[in-house]
Every structure is written in C-alpha cells, then in structure tokens.
Amino acid sequence: MTAASRDAASSDAAGGDLAPGPALRDVERRWPVSGRPRRAKGAFVVLRTDRVRMPDGDVARRDVVEHPGAVAVVALDATGQVLLIRQYRHPVGHLLWEIPAGLRDVPGEPSRGTGERELREETGYAARTWHVLTDCYTSPGISTERVTVFLARDLAEVPGPDRGPPLRHEEAYLRRAWVPLDQAVARVAEPGLRQVLKSFRKQHAPQKARHVG
C-alpha cells in the first residue's frame, strides 16, 4: 500500500477530514475484526480479545471489557449541599467517597429510572427534577462502559418500606454525608478524594444541563 493510499484509508476510517472548531463530533465506526474473539465471562462483565484490522492492513490485538453501563447522581438539596456516599471498592482497595451510582443491569430500564432507583436505595431520597449533566465513556481504550451523570433537585426522603430491598454486601456498609457544594468542589484539589475528584470536575466543566422529563 502506498503512502497516498494509506492516507486515504486513514481519512476514510476516521470519517473524513477533521472539521474545525465547534463542528468537531464523534463518529460511530467499526473497524473489521479478524477471526473469532477470545472471551472470558465474569460476574457482570465480559472480557474479549479482538484482532482488529487497521486501515493500513495491519492487525492488532485489543482487549475489550463489555460493560452494561452505569448512572451517577449529583443530588443537591435546597441549601446547596451535595449528598455523598462512602463505599468499599474492592478492585482498588479503598473506601471511596462518591456520588450515588449504579449499574444499568435491569433490562429495558431507562437511564433516569436507574438513577431514581439507585438514589432511592442507596440514600433513601427521591428527586422531582432531573437534568443530564454528562453522558460519556469512562475508559474507551478498553471498556464499553458508558455513564450518564444526572443532576437531581427537589429532594424528599422516602419512607423506609418504599426504598427497596435491604442493602447487601458492600452497600450494607455505606456511609452518607451532606457536604456544602462549594466545600466539596474545593476539596477536589486536595489529596485523599480520588473518586469525588473525577465526579466534580465533570460536573463543574462549562456545559448546559439537559432536562429529563
């Protein structure tokens, strides 16, 4: 393959010439995979290894974690406090302060429905107003995980019997805390808050929240 044809192939695979400034956008595209992937199934994810054919004809092995996706919720009360939870995360060996979150592991459940369920079960609160803050892939180099982050306002406590089944495993040991939003944002620059750091940087980036009815 000549240099010119490689350039043409690369441009076509990338979706054409790059558009300047605000016109930049992601393009859905699947490069061909050679043979059958190797798979290993876990409790809720699948690990596969694909042999991906590049535009220039080369083939490279790429590991992919097939993930069901997740939601996360920034719950703010009328006084400007954000609701955080502390949860044990075994893969990293830490008790992490986070915003409430959970897997999209109920078939057919819309993302807002998952957010409502996780907020209710993990914190005992419900929200009347919902906005989408961001919708992103967390680690697109290796995982299909897509996370929708909501802003939830107009909160009210849910009576115990209506919160759902009793919490189990790590969730049975959750700690909850209301923290002034400004204080939580200020803390992200300090050591010791690894997960809240990621969440609040996303939420305070300049963007327009999208209302979810």
Residue 6 lies in a domain: no
Q: What is the pLDDT of residue 197?
A: 46
Q: Which domain holds residue 49?
A: 30-66
Do residue 158 and residue 190 come from a single domain?
yes
Do 60 and 83 belong together in one domain?
A: no
Residue 195 within any structural domain of the chain: yes
Q: Is residue 159 part of a domain?
A: yes
Same-domain pairing of 56 and 101: no
Residue 138 sits in the same domain as residue 80 = yes
Q: Pick the last residue of a domain from 66, 94, 121.
A: 66
Distances (CA, A) of 76 to 25, 113, 119, 205, 211: 31, 18, 12, 17, 15
Active site residues: 171
Amino acid at 134: T
Instruction: Identify whether 75 is part of a domain.
Output: yes
Would you mind telling me the total number of residues written for the chain in this entry?
213
Residues 135 and 176 reside in one and the same domain: yes
Any domain includes 167: yes
**What whole-number distance in Å separates Cα of residue 95 and Cα of residue 69?**
22
Same domain, residue pair 107 and 47:
no
pLDDT at 187: 79
Kindly state whether residues 80 and 55 are assigned to the same domain: no
Same domain, 46 and 128: no
Please tell me the distance from the alpha carbon of residue 211 to that of residue 204, in angstroms, as a whole number.
17
Instruction: List the one residue out of 162, 158, 151, 165 whose CA is nearest residue 200.
Output: 151
pLDDT at residue 207 greater than cutoff 90 = no
pTM to 2 decimal places: 0.79
Domain count, the chain: 2
Main-chain phi, psi angles of 77, to 5 degrees: -90, 180
106 plus 53 within the same structural domain: no
pLDDT digits (tens, 9 = 90+) for 153-202: 999 999 988 898 999 999 999 999 999 998 888 877 776 676 654 555 55
188 and 111 inside one domain: yes
Q: Which of 9-13, 20-24, 64-68 has the lowest mean pLDDT?
A: 9-13
Please write the tens of the pLDDT for every residue from 122-133. 999 999 999 999
Give the CATH number for residue 200: 3.90.79.10
Q: Please list the alpha-helical segments (H only) found in the chain.
A: 3-13, 111-123, 181-187, 194-203
Q: CA nearest 93: which of 16, 194, 14?
A: 194
In the prediction, which pLDDT does 213 show? 60
Strand segments (E) across 36-118: 38-41, 46-53, 59-66, 70-75, 81-89, 94-98, 101-103
